Chains A and B, each alone.
Chain A
Amino acid sequence: MPQRTPLHDVHVRAGARMVEFAGWDMPVQYAGILAEHEAVRTRAGLFDVSHMGEVVFRGPGALPALQRLFTNDLARCADGQAQYGCLCRETGGIIDDVVVYRRSAEDLLVCVNASNRAKDHDWLRAHAGDTSVENESEAWAQLALQGPRAQEIAQALTSLRLGSVGTYRFADAEVAGVRCLLARTGYTGEDGFELFCPSADGPRLWGALMEAGQAHGIAPCGLGARDSLRLEMAYRLYGSDMDDSTTPLEAGLAWVVKLDKGEFIGREALVKAKEAGLSRKLVGFTLTDPGIPRHGHAVLQDGKPVGTVTSGTRSPTLGISVGLAYVPPGLAGEGSTFAVDIRGRAAAAKVVKTPFHSKKK
Chain B
Amino acid sequence: MNIPDDLKYTREHEWCRLDGGRALVGITDHAQAQLGDIVYVELPDVGDPVKKGESFGVVESTKAVSELFAPLTGKVVEVNSPLSDAPETINEDPYGEGWMIRIELGDVKEVEQLLEGGAYKTFIEEEEG
Q: Which of A25-72 contact B (CB under 8 A)?
A: 28-29, 32-35, 37
- Are A29 and B65 within 8 A (Cβ)? no
> Is B36 interfacial (CB-CB < 8 Å)?
yes
B61 to chain A, nearest CB (A): 7
- With known contacts A29-B36, A32-B36, A290-B84, A224–B42 Cβ distance under 8 A: no
Distance A37 CA – B63 CA, assembled complex (angstroms): 13
Show the binding face of B for A, using Cβ within 8 Å.
36-37, 39-40, 42, 58, 60-63, 65, 84
- Are A314 and B40 within 8 A (Cβ)? yes
The winner among B37, B40, B65 for most chain A CB atoms within 10 A is: B37
Contact partners of A291 in chain B: CB under 8 A: 40, 42
Distance A316 CA – B60 CA, assembled complex (angstroms): 13
Distance A33 CA – B39 CA, assembled complex (angstroms): 11
Show the binding face of A for B, using Cβ within 8 Å.
17, 28-29, 32-35, 37, 224, 227-228, 290-292, 294, 313-314, 316, 321, 343
A300 to chain B, nearest CB (A): 19
Distance A108 CA – B5 CA, assembled complex (angstroms): 63
B51 to chain A, nearest CB (A): 17
- Are A33 and B42 within 8 A (Cβ)? no
22 CB < 8 A contacts A-B? A32-B36, A32-B37, A33-B62, A33-B63, A34-B37, A34-B39, A34-B62, A37-B62, A224-B36, A227-B62, A290-B40, A291-B40, A291-B42, A292-B40, A292-B60, A292-B65, A313-B63, A314-B39, A314-B40, A314-B60, A316-B39, A321-B40
- Given contacts A29-B36, A33-B63, list 5 more A-B pairs with CB under 8 A: A17-B36, A227-B63, A228-B62, A292-B39, A314-B62
- Are A224 and B40 within 8 A (Cβ)? no
A63 to chain B, nearest CB (A): 40
Distance A135 CA – B37 CA, assembled complex (angstroms): 38
Contact partners of B63 in chain A: CB under 8 A: 28, 33, 224, 227, 313
Distance A292 CA – B39 CA, assembled complex (angstroms): 9
- Are A224 and B58 within 8 A (Cβ)? no
The winner among B39, B40, B42 for most chain A CB atoms within 10 A is: B39
Contact partners of A343 in chain B: CB under 8 A: 58
Distance A357 CA – B39 CA, assembled complex (angstroms): 18
- Are A33 and B61 within 8 A (Cβ)? yes
Contact partners of B37 in chain A: CB under 8 A: 32-35
Contact partners of B58 in chain A: CB under 8 A: 343
Distance A34 CA – B38 CA, assembled complex (angstroms): 10
Distance A53 CA – B42 CA, assembled complex (angstroms): 40
Contact partners of A17 in chain B: CB under 8 A: 36
Distance A228 CA – B63 CA, assembled complex (angstroms): 8
The winner among B42, B62, B63, B65 for most chain A CB atoms within 10 A is: B62
Distance A37 CA – B58 CA, assembled complex (angstroms): 23
Distance A343 CA – B58 CA, assembled complex (angstroms): 10
- With known contacts A33-B36, A292-B39, A314-B40, A224–B65 Cβ distance under 8 A: no
- Are A224 and B62 within 8 A (Cβ)? yes
Considering only CB atoms, which chain A residue lies closest to B87 in the complex?
Answer: A314
Contact partners of A37 in chain B: CB under 8 A: 62
Distance A213 CA – B24 CA, assembled complex (angstroms): 45
Considering only CB atoms, which chain A residue lies closest to B61 in the complex?
Answer: A33
Considering only CB atoms, which chain B residue lies closest to A34 in the complex?
Answer: B37
Considering only CB atoms, which chain B residue lies closest to A223 in the complex?
Answer: B63
A315 to chain B, nearest CB (A): 9
Distance A144 CA – B127 CA, assembled complex (angstroms): 35
A290 to chain B, nearest CB (A): 7
The winner among B40, B58, B63 for most chain A CB atoms within 10 A is: B63
A26 to chain B, nearest CB (A): 13
Contact partners of B61 in chain A: CB under 8 A: 33
Contact partners of A29 in chain B: CB under 8 A: 36
Contact partners of B36 in chain A: CB under 8 A: 17, 29, 32-33, 224
The winner among A28, A29, A314, A321 for most chain B CB atoms within 10 A is: A314
